[in-house]
Amino acid sequence: MKKILIIPLLLLLVGCIFEPSETICFHNNSPSAIYVTSSCLDSLTLDLQLSLFDTIKSEENERKDTCWKCIIKSPDYRINAYSYENIANNRIIKGCKKNKIRIFFIRESVMREFSWQEICDNQMYEKKLILTEEDLKKTDWVVVYE
């Protein structure tokens, strides 16, 4: 009986293992997938360039321009509904003005329907958080989207 109780506890504790200065654990508590990116700027910019899917070429296609045997996968910055994901924080907080990072959440339906250019031009993010390193430390580097 003790083993049965210990296993879920261990899974809960190791659910988001990460190096705090490198990674933020995002929890998506919404009914749809979201895409997450971060920046020092107050708005989405073209250089962040998120895409709906990633394409991985097979070894056979490395020499060809076409991609008829490509593998299509979800990018690392996509978080499924009612799920969580560790995402490397490649935008260093200390490099941002006043040590504040902006985290943008974009619905998958927006990513499907609009180009990245349109998303940036119209600032079509669902939610934006402005956080300091202290804010992230208070939540153990966990950010929840609801």
**C-alpha to C-alpha distance for 95 and 143, rounded to whole angstroms:** 20
How many CA atoms lie within 13 Å of 90's alpha carbon, on the beta-carbon side? 6
pLDDT computed for residue 99 by the predictor: 84
Separation in Å, CA 103 to CA 7, 22, 44, 60: 33, 15, 10, 38
pLDDT computed for residue 1 by the predictor: 52
Low-confidence ranges of the chain (pLDDT < 70): 1-22, 57-69, 89-94
- Residue spans of beta strands (DSSP E) within the chain: 23-28, 34-39, 54-56, 71-73, 78-79, 83-88, 100-107, 127-132, 142-145
